[in-house]
Each structure stands twice: as structure tokens, then as C-alpha cells.
């Protein structure tokens, strides 16, 4: 049973510190990654061990796509099973991490490009818990979600992320969770459980995305609608892609970009992920 003691020490305003937390974009892929011990989940576990323990985690998930910008502000967010057709074991998972209403309020106050609405109905969707439960299995670190406003253009999301930078100085790990290339309509289902496989356009665009990220050349990534036919195939809808822009918008002048879980899956999906951390 969850109690307030799990997060009482985080309820006061977080203080700035010398340490700047990394920021991540994680390709979360199938919900089954939430319970499977595979190369992706193993890397998430290892990633957490390579970083300082955060005071809290804030996730921008592809699966909370809203009109307006919302932030989870409840004490105990529910575990949301927002998918269908999977084994019962996946639906049985509960990730009982606490929330942090004080941090939600503080985060909302940092954002001036949007009016942020406190939310008490959502919780942690699978874009969040399938990843974070591997990173912090004890569920003793507060976890919040910030929604993605579907009425706003890509540049808005990139700019909004910049306003969150000070949270990195307060021990908050910020994660964008989606997939850079995500076209479920073209998935090669016969190869879903096989070795790495990507269509030619998937592999070509994945390489281009990595090149632009590693060189901190974000203009083409923000204006992804200008990437031609390959871009339309890779990003038929924006919800899985936009979390990447939040991660990139949080880049500081001393951050070095790194790539991990760089793999194409089932033709039209990539798990390619990004870590930004000070040199």
C-alpha cells in the first residue's frame, strides 16, 4: 500500500544544485517491453544506474495527446493500461510511484508559452511506466507526466521545453517517450519478433535523424514536415515524434548528445534513443 512517506521529502520546492541531470528521449516501442527482459529494457535499467538518482521524473509521453497542456497533479497516479490485445500479465502490472503536486505546481509556473492545467484524472500511461519501471523498479521516486497539446505546431513544443531547463538543476530527470519513426500501418508483423529490420526509407531517415541530433542541427527536425516522402512515411501522425523535440529543446550549452538502442524494428519502427548530458 502506498503512503505519503514515499514522497514527503520531495514536497517542498526543489532547490537548485551544481549537478545538472541528463535529459532523455526514449523509443519505448511495444508495451511488452514493460515486462520483457530484452535488449531495450536492459539498456533502460543500465541507463538509470549510470545517472544520479533523480528527485523526480517528468515524462512527456506520446500517449497523452491533449487539447491544451496538462500536468498530472495527484498524489498517487494510477497505472494506465492504454492498449489492447496483449497478455494478461501486462494488464496485471501496477507501477505505484507517487506523484508530486508541489512539483506539478512549480513546473506549471515555469511555463509561459502555455497555460498549464493541473490534472487529477490521467496517471501514468504505457509511454511512461513501461520504461520507468525498469529504471526505478522500487517505484519510490515521484513520477509526473506533461501532456502534448495537439493544437500547437512543432516549434511550440521545442520552445516550451526550453522553459523547463531549470528543473534539470533541481534533480528532475526529464524524459521524452515516443519513437522517432513510428508507422504502425506499415509494420511487417511477420518480422516483429525477429532480428533488426527496417525498410530502406526507415534506415535512411534514421541515419539522417542521428546525424542532425549529433550535430545539434535541429531546424530540419523541428520542420519535419519538409522531409519529403520519407518523412511522411516515418511520421504519419506526430504524437510519437514530438517527445523528441521536448528532449532536444532541453539541451544545454555543455550537453553532449549520445545515441542508444539504435535499432529498427518490424520495418517501420525505430527504437533509436537519445541521451543529453553535460560533458
| Residue 264, H or E segment | strand 264-265
Check if CATH label 3.30.70.520 holds for domain 20-278.
no
- Condensed to tens digits (0 to 9), the pLDDT of residues 115-134 reads 999 999 999 999 999 999 99
Q: Please, which pLDDT band fits residue 6 given cuts at 50, 70 and 90?
A: very low
C-alpha cell at 93: 502490472
Q: Which residue ranges make up each domain of the chain?
A: 20-278
Q: What percent of the chain has pLDDT over 90?
A: 88
pTM of structure: 0.93
Query: What's the burial of 59, exposed, middle or buried (CB within 10 Å: 0-12/13-18/19+)?
Result: buried
Lowest average pLDDT, out of 4-8, 15-19, 189-193, 260-264, goes to 4-8
Share of the chain above pLDDT 70, in %: 95
- pLDDT above 70 for 8: no
Closest CA to 73 of 146, 13, 14: 146
Using CA atoms, how far apart are residues 275 and 240, in angstroms rounded to an integer?
17
At 59-90, the pLDDT tens digits run 999 999 999 999 999 999 999 999 999 999 99
Amino acid at each position: 500500500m502506498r503512503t505519503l512517506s514515499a514522497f514527503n521529502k520531495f514536497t517542498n520546492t526543489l532547490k537548485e544544485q551544481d549537478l545538472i541531470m541528463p535529459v532523455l528521449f526514449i523509443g519505448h516501442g511495444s508495451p511488452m517491453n514493460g515486462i520483457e527482459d530484452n535488449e531495450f529494457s536492459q539498456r533502460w535499467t543500465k541507463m538509470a544506474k549510470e545517472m544520479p538518482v533523480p528527485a523526480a521524473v517528468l515524462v512527456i509521453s506520446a500517449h497523452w495527446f491533449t487539447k491544451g497542456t496538462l500536468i498530472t497533479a495527484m498524489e498517487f497516479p494510477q497505472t494506465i493500461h492504454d492498449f489492447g490485445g496483449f497478455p494478461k500479465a501486462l494488464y496485471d502490472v501496477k507501477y505505484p510511484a507517487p506523484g508530486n503536486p508541489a512539483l506539478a505546481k512549480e513546473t506549471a509556473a515555469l511555463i509561459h508559452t502555455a497555460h498549464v492545467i493541473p490534472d487529477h484524472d490521467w496517471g501514468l500511461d504505457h509511454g511512461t511506466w513501461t520504461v520507468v519501471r525498469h529504471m526505478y523498479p522500487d517505484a519510490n521516486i515521484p513520477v509526473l507526466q506533461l501532456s502534448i497539446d495537439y493544437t500547437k505546431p512543432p516549434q511550440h513544443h521545442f520552445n516550451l521545453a526550453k522553459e523547463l531547463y531549470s528543473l534539470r538543476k533541481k534533480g528532475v530527470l526529464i524524459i521524452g517517450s515516443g519513437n522517432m519513426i513510428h508507422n504502425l500501418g506499415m509494420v511487417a508483423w511477420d518480422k516483429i519478433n525477429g532480428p533488426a529490420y527496417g525498410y530502406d526509407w526507415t534506415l535512411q531517415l534514421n541515419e539522417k535523424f542521428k546525424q542532425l541530433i549529433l550535430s545539434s542541427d535541429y531546424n530540419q527536425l523541428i520542420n519535419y514536415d519538409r522531409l519529403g516522402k520519407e518523412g511522411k512515411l516515418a511520421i504519419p501522425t506526430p504524437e510519437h515524434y514530438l517527445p523528441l523535440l521536448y528532449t532536444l529543446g532541453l539541451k544545454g550549452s555543455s550537453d553532449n548528445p549520445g545515441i542508444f538502442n539504435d535499432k529498427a524494428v518490424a520495418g517501420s519502427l525505430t527504437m533509436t534513443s537519445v541521451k543529453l548530458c553535460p560533458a
